Amino acid sequence: MTDRGYRPAPLPAEAADLHDRLGAPPRLVAHHRAVHDTVLRLLDAFGAELGADAASVCFGAATHDLGKVRHPEELSRPGSLHEEAGRALLLAHGVPPGLAKYAGSHGSWDRPGRDGGELLVSLADKIWKGRRQDDLEDLVAARLAAAREQPLWEAFLALDEVLAVLAEAAPRRLAHQAAHPVGGA
């Protein structure tokens, strides 16, 4: 049974269709819904300043772990094989490279050339469960400070305020995901 108080936003139609066609396990769909719901809030707060295309970021959040269809063991334990597998899987299903990139980049935000949208998907994939990732948050705060032409500490305070609220709701999102089985479709 899911937490009746937590109702994540539905996945974008194209992403939901991919989940259906690939037989994504319920746990993976629930995870994608939680991360997608979280990225919507991050987009609302910072998307424009980070130059993020909302539709692209939403699709990226809704499919970032789709490679776990090929590596289901990573649904219940750590691993990164799903990242490149997910990007390749999305490309094989006709998803443009600009959208498939999130599957391959969400775990490597510290590599040069990551755009604001990729950072938001990476951040949503951490904060949905209440995890704070200092180095990632520092990158996002630096981008915000540059966009706002303000001191880094001011941008970090604004980011921290939003992340604290998102982290507070993490237990409800975690309960929602845990209510869905790892296997089966």
Q: What is the reported pLDDT for 184?
A: 65
Distances (CA, A) of 178 to 48, 159, 172: 33, 28, 10
- Count of domains for the chain: 1
Residue type, 11: L
> In this structure, what CATH number is given to the domain that contains residue 89?
1.10.3210
Give pLDDT tens digits for 14-47.
999 999 999 999 999 999 999 999 999 999 999 9
Within-domain flag for 7: no
Q: What range does the domain containing 148 cover?
A: 14-178
In a domain, 5, yes or no: no
* pLDDT tens column, 147-179: 999 999 999 999 999 999 999 999 999 999 999
The pLDDT tens digits of the residues spanning 75-94 come to: 889 899 999 999 999 999 99
Q: How far is CA 179 from the centre of its chain?
A: 19
Q: pTM for the complete prediction?
A: 0.94
8 in any annotated domain:
no
**Where are the extended beta strands (E) located within 25-170?**
none
**Other Cβ atoms closer than 10 A to 146:** 13
